[in-house]
Structure 1
Amino acid sequence: MTNQPPDGDPGGYSARNDPREWHGHRIVTGGDLGAVFAPTEEPELVRRAKRRRRLHNSVVAFLVLLLLVAGTLAQGLISGWVRLPAAAPSTSAGPVDECPAGPFPYLDTAAVEVNVYNATANPGLAGTVGDALNQRGFRVDRVGNSSVNRSEMTALVLSGPSGFAAAYTLQQHIPDSQYVRDERTDGSVDVVIGSGFSELAPAEQAAAAGPGALSCPQSETPAPAGQ
């Protein structure tokens, strides 16, 4: 008897029964491959990827919210329940001194486009007057504030030559208002409400007015709206 393994069997009996051995060569297993080709992704890379995903999701959510707000605001402007305040426009050419010769017809209020500005320290006055004119059929466009400062002024009504009749029509609804001509080319009319304003004339009285002349200042011509 000898304790040496038989010829051709250097690994002995146990080697012959080892499934990882084949004729003296080791068989590469899946576990061996996994150890060699282990994932190379480090925890730091995973954290960076998560941060990028969170940042991307936050940006997308912000853009969606911004679009919703913009859509709501646009719908409000179209529907009329959102109205942005507007600054009174300035006219580069300035007012024209002479009072236009009449008479001018009283127009349907639906044909008159009016911009209303507040020259007083009473907040919201332009909106109040604008709503009242709107109820009488005037097409109120802009509502805002004006820097015109004229002591005890009731109201100034401004227009270009295309708006003479519209300005006359508006003056019938605002007692003691004074007309000032500017060089705008459209038919719109501005009204600047002063501290002397109290209320509009009765609607029936204003609507009963026939053709007439504009009421212009007797003293120095005041500055136009916004100046």
Structure 2
Amino acid sequence: MTAPTSSSEARAARRRRVQQRQTVVFGGLVTILLVVALVAGAMWTGLLPSPLAREFSSAEPTDEPIVRPCLPEDATPMPLSSITANVYNGTDRPGLAGETSDALSVAGVLINQVANWPQGAYGGATQIVAGPLGVRAGYSLARVFPDAVVALESSREDKSVDVVLGAEYDGMLSEDEIANLDPDEQLVAPQDCEPVETPSPEASPEASPETSPEG
């Protein structure tokens, strides 16, 4: 009769040791989870700095300073229907370039490409990028966008322009406001603009009727 009793006592002792180990393990895990939760809460509320926190940085469209081109003397706006534009989204707002290109198309602008800005994020409102042949088109289209900046891309050889929408973009003029723009109002470049050497018509591919988009 003593063997079964000893066996039962041994099993009971093993159960107690297992239960004690489980209690220690689970208690340790709960303690660790509580500490992690407290630290995370302190980081969330700003009481402790997060090792992963860093300031958000918006990449500019180019590392070089923006060149603001000068306009020809007494330049007036071009009809929007004569302007070809690429529309780029320089933000993390999905669909922004598509919505804007639709509105520009309704206003008469010929849309060539709609995509994300390949140079990353743009921190401004709207940047209109134009080559030497597209300066007047750039300033004409800039009237549609409040706070737009016209930038020169000297290597561009055609008259098309890029519309880059940035983090501060807050919409373009409405259809009625665009229709009420004065077509004879003189275009104005900023005082710090730089003169632009315009290629001769013979050097421009668009000067030839065979290469014209109108065909």
Any idea what SS the aligned residue of 2:163 has? strand
Any idea what SS the aligned residue of 2:70 has? coil
Return 207-216 or 100-109, whichever deviates more: 207-216
Q: 1:97 to 1:117 in 2, by over 3 A?
A: same
**Aligned mate of 1:125, from 96, 101, 110:** 96
Report the structure, 1 or 2, having the larger helix content. Answer: 2
Q: 1:209 to 1:131 in 2, by over 3 A?
A: farther
Q: What are the residue-to-residue correspondences of 1:114-193 with 2, within 5 Å?
A: 114-146=85-117, 147-151=119-123, 153-183=124-154, 184-193=156-165
Any idea what SS the aligned residue of 2:92 has? coil
What runs of 5+ residues in structure 2 fail to find an aligned partner? Answer: 1-60, 194-215
- Whether 1:214 aligns to 2:189 is yes
Q: What are the residue-to-residue correspondences of 1:97-108 with 2, within 5 Å?
A: 97-102=67-72, 103-108=74-79
What runs of 5+ residues in structure 1 fail to find an aligned partner? Answer: 1-89, 219-227
| Native 8 Å contact 1:177 1:215 kept in 2 | no
- Provide the C-alpha distance between the structure 1 equivalents of 2:148 and 2:122, rounded to a whole number of angstroms: 12
**Aligned mate of 1:112, from 61, 83, 91:** 83
- Provide the C-alpha distance between the structure 2 equivalents of 1:143 and 1:215, rounded to a whole number of angstroms: 28
| Native 8 Å contact 2:134 2:161 kept in 1 | yes
Superposed CA deviations along residues 74-116 of structure 1, whole A, max 9, x for unmatched, are xxxxxxxxxxxxxxxx99xx77735324443211111100000
Superposed CA deviations along residues 164-192 of structure 1, whole A, max 9, x for unmatched, are 11101100101101111002010001010
Q: Cα distance, 1:133 vs. partner?
A: 0.1
Give the TM-score of the pair, scaled to structure 2: 0.52
* Aligned length, in residue pairs: 126
Any idea what SS the aligned residue of 2:181 has? helix
Q: 1:192 to 1:96 in 2, by over 3 A?
A: closer
The CA RMSD measured in Å over matched residues stands at 2.7
Give the TM-score of the pair, scaled to structure 1: 0.50
